[in-house]
Amino acid sequence: MWLVAGLGNPGAEYRGTRHNVGFEVVEELAERHGIPMRRRAMRAVIGDGLIAGQRVILARPMTYMNLSGEAVGAIARMHKLPPERVLVIVDDMALPLGRLRIRPQGSAGGHNGLQSIERHLNTRAYPRVRIGVGAARPGRMVDHVLGRFRPEEREIVAEAIDRAADAVEAILAEGLERAMNRFNQDPEPAE
């Protein structure tokens, strides 16, 4: 069993913001695999089903980004999941817009949601799919991550969300190493 947690902030005012790309990937996976995301438990909206032959719990923490670890940790503990079976999908300002990076573990890189998860899992050794949302201008970090994408960025982000969902499916079907080899490269330019 896997926990696939997409990070974001709850509420209509945050829908479509840079910080919420993790939510969008989980929503895409739920739609692709017919997994209803209606159940509220452990401070998250969750659904469970099969993806790539693996039993999966999809989760959108409802704790706000900075407290994501409360929900992720509670779900992982309840289902006795080791950290290497907790896959986190998160925005990343250090990556160019639309770029994906899969990592088996690593630092939070200043991301408060990842720091919270580290505290609640007591480790940095959990896999993550990072989605580039572009860099903020100096002193504008909060406005940047809580801001919506410009129309010309939205198409790039929509493709990145689809690719991130593909990456999650590949991780579940083929393992982290093969998925990293496939997705940790620049996307092919559109023809």
Q: How many domains does the chain have?
A: 1
Q: What is the per-residue pLDDT for 101?
A: 97
Is residue 188 in some structural domain?
no
DSSP structural state of residue 15:
T
Q: What confidence category does residue 185 fall into, taking pLDDT thresholds of 50, 70 and 90? A: confident
Is residue 90 in some structural domain?
yes
Measured between its terminal Cα atoms, the distance across the chain in Å is 38
Q: By the 8 A CB rule, do 61 and 114 touch? A: no
Q: What confidence category does residue 8 fall into, taking pLDDT thresholds of 50, 70 and 90? A: very high
- Reading the block at residue 21, the tokens are 């790309």
Is residue 120 in some structural domain?
yes
Is residue 190 in some structural domain?
no
- Reading the block at residue 45, the tokens are 């909206």
Catalytic site includes residue 19: yes
Is residue 164 in some structural domain?
yes
Helix (H) or strand (E) holding 170: helix 151-174
Note the pTM of the prediction, 2 decimals. 0.92
The boundaries of the domain holding residue 13 are: 2-183
Q: What is the per-residue pLDDT for 191?
A: 46
168: domain CATH number is 3.40.50.1470
Look up tokens 């997705």; give the residue: 183
Is residue 73 in some structural domain?
yes
Angle between helices 176-183 and 151-174 in degrees, nearest 10 = 150
